[in-house]
Chains A and B, each alone.
Chain A
Amino acid sequence: MRVSEKIIEGLLWLAAVITILITAGIIWVLLSESISFFQVVPLVDFLTEKEWTPLFADKKFGIAPLVAGTLLTTAVAISVALPIGLTIAVYLNEYAHARLKQVVKPLLEVLATIPTVVYGFFALTVVTPFLQGFIPDLAGFNALSAGIVMGIMIIPMISSLSEDAISAVPRSLREAAYGMGSTRLQTSFGVMVPAASSGIVVSVILAISRAVGETMIVAIAAGQQPRLTLNPLVPIETITTYIVQVSLGDVPRGSLEYKTIFAAGITLFIFTFALNNLSFWIKKKYQEKYD
């Protein structure tokens, strides 16, 4: 009896420890392939060159254009999702009837369950032609449409996490504000939002991390032209799109081109890892404790 109990506990422990092996595996795979990449391409060139052309005859290995493309689509996405998501959170908490909230919240969650390849199709075939009606200069592939659609996708992430943070603020604070004669708007933005600010910041950081790693929307709608620009109207390429582009082609294993996807991958991993841990740290350090 005792022995079988111990064996079972051992097996369960093993299942839990596999998660550490996954992390170790990710870091090992990214590092080992990138190290052999950086033996050929100096790290300084990787960080300072302004062009990324590993698939052309004249090869240049500057990551900057891919990083710029990634940050550009992310910036567009967040500037759509943050104002809308935060407004929804405040509205549902302070203005809407409980019944409306019950109906709207799960409906918004539907936005987060739609596969991203479907959003990509939407960006390319609906949003871009629609925007071209106002912006004649808009290219067929561009960061703007991809970013807007990505923003719509992450609205529920910001609205739902922010709403949780705002509703965790104790009633007494809200009632004190109303007691002083504040309107709902003043209560929301003068008391509730500041009191819930750490939770809201965490939701935004997680949304940024999600947008940075998003692949299919940008692969379909943002183009495949690495370009060091902040212009959202022209085709660009993100880190994730580059990895997809190379994976679709026939690149022999062990070639420098093959290793570039791991160098791109480790750059992406560093970004998202830093953002995720920043959010954990903020959550732990700044979360207000009310008793």
Chain B
Amino acid sequence: MTNSEKNRLKDKAFQVFGVFCTFIGLVVLAVFLFDIILEGARRIDWDFLVSLPSRRAARAGILTAWVGTLWILVLTTIIAFPLGVAAGVYLEEYARKSKMANFLEINIANLAGVPSIIYGLLGLEIFVRQMNLGGSLLAGALTLSLLILPIIIVTTREAIKSVPRSVRDGSYALGASKWQTVWNQVLPASFGGILTGIILALSRAVGEAAPLIVIGALAYVPFTPSSPLDEFTVLPIQIFNWTSRPQAEFQTNAAAAIIVLLIITFMLNGIAVYLRNRQQKKIKW
């Protein structure tokens, strides 16, 4: 065998290995989803969705968990959306090149890399203890807002950056002020991108369990929360709690709750992808 034949053989071998590696992740994903559906789907019915938690697996439901998750989603959006977009607008449109702007940028990149459980410790000390909110929905939503803030800021900046200079120049030429330009031209033009970023950030927040466990969200909450100061649980914590129990019936419950959680996560991601594609098709600068 000549050298070049050998090299061609190695090339082919790597190609096979490449296909193998590319599909192993997808195969694992498929096996996994199949396994969960096989185990959990038969447990999902109307009763499961509207029942309170219980010590008996067969009677336990996820009402408090998904209502808590919904509350957290809404509150987190209300807190993180204006804050993140405002910070993104400032950094992209207002901040001049300076040491301060540079520092802000490095700081945000750093925050994006801080493990979620550390945000839990921050929330525990600041929101739960100092501000005396206890293990409430509000404390949880504030904690998760800080966690997703870097994601919203970064995606907002990218969306604003894609608006061409000529749009701003046109606005200024008509006598608009800086804020009028931002509010009437730049933000509407970049809204699709900003929305995509927020939805992706929320899909991250929906799946978080660790920071909420640290701030003291409970696994067993016998009522649905009715105000932001009520105690709560969320789907990931309910899943964690059921997974930690040895009885097989609780594993089945966990699988069923996972199906519900995955539907929510995939739906949020699907909306984000749809918005992004529509945006890319609609606008050609």
A contacts, CB < 8 Å to B: 1, 4-5, 8-9, 11-20, 22-23, 25-26, 29-30, 33, 83-84, 87-88, 90-92, 95-96, 104, 106-108, 110-111, 113-118, 120-122, 124-126, 152, 155-156, 181, 183-186, 188, 206, 209, 212-216, 219-220, 240, 243-244, 247-248, 253, 261-262, 265, 268-269, 272-273, 275-277, 280
In-complex Cβ contact of B87 among A1, A5, A15 (8 A): A15
B2 within 8 Å of A (CB atoms): no
Secondary structure class of chain A's binding surface, majority of residues: helix
**B124-183 with Cβ < 8 A to chain A:** 124-126, 129, 146, 149-150, 153, 177-179
Query: Given A11-B86, A117-B236, A121-B243, is A272 in contact with B115 using a C-beta cutoff of 8 Å?
Result: yes
CA distance in complex: A281, B92 (Å):
23
Interface positions of B from 223 to 282, Cβ below 8 Å from A:
236, 239-240, 243-244, 251, 254-255, 258, 261-262, 265-266, 269, 273
B interface SS class = helix
Binding-face segment, B6-14, B44-52, B54-62: B6-14
Task: Indicate if the CB atoms of B115 and A20 lie closer than 8 Å.
Answer: no
Interface centre among B25, B110, B119, B243 (most CB of A within 10 A): B25
The interface residues of chain B lying within 8 Å CB-to-CB of A155 are 25
- Contact of B91 with A212 in the complex, beta carbons under 8 Å: no
Chain-A contact segment, one of B70-78, B190-198, B206-214: B206-214
A184 to chain B, nearest CB (A): 6
Selected from A22, A91, A183, A215, the residue in CB contact (under 8 A) with B116 is A215
Residues of B within 8 A of A14 (CB): 86
User: In the complex, how many angstroms separate the beta carbon of B259 from the nearest chain A beta carbon?
Assistant: 10
12 sample A-B contacts, Cβ–Cβ < 8 Å, listed by A number: A9-B179, A16-B86, A25-B122, A29-B122, A88-B25, A91-B14, A91-B18, A111-B29, A114-B262, A117-B240, A126-B32, A265-B118
Chain B residues with CB under 8 Å of A110's CB are 29, 266, 269
The answer to whether B25 touches A22, judged by C-beta atoms less than 8 angstroms apart, is no
- Residues of chain B having any CB pair with chain A under 8 Å: 4, 7-8, 10-11, 14-15, 17-19, 21-22, 24-26, 28-29, 31-32, 35-36, 82-84, 86-87, 89-91, 94-95, 103-104, 106-111, 113-122, 124-126, 129, 146, 149-150, 153, 177-179, 203, 206-210, 213-214, 216, 236, 239-240, 243-244, 251, 254-255, 258, 261-262, 265-266, 269, 273
* Alpha-carbon gap, A225 to B96, bound state (A): 52
B22 contact set on A, CB distance < 8 A: 87-88, 91-92, 96, 104, 108
Expressed in whole angstroms, the Cα–Cα distance for A219 and B212 within the complex equals 14
Residues of A within 8 A of B87 (CB): 12, 15-16, 18-19
**In whole angstroms, what is the CA distance A248 to B84 when docked?**
31
CB within 8 Å for A280 and B104 given contacts A247-B214, A265-B121: no
- Nearest 8 interchain pairs by C-beta: A213-B115, A115-B207, A91-B18, A15-B86, A12-B90, A215-B210, A276-B113, A183-B11
- The 8 Å CB contact of A84, one of B25, B108, B243, is B25
Shortest distance in angstroms between A186's beta carbon and chain B's nearest beta carbon?
A: 7
Contacts of B122 in A (CB 8 A): 22, 25-26, 29
Given contacts A16-B90, A118-B36, 5 further A-B contacts (CB under 8 A): A9-B179, A16-B86, A16-B91, A122-B35, A185-B14
CB pair B21 A88 closer than 8 Å: yes
A residues near B103, Cβ cutoff 8 Å? 20
B residues less than 8 Å from A8 (CB atoms): 179
- A29 partner residues in chain B, CB cutoff 8 A: 121-122, 125-126
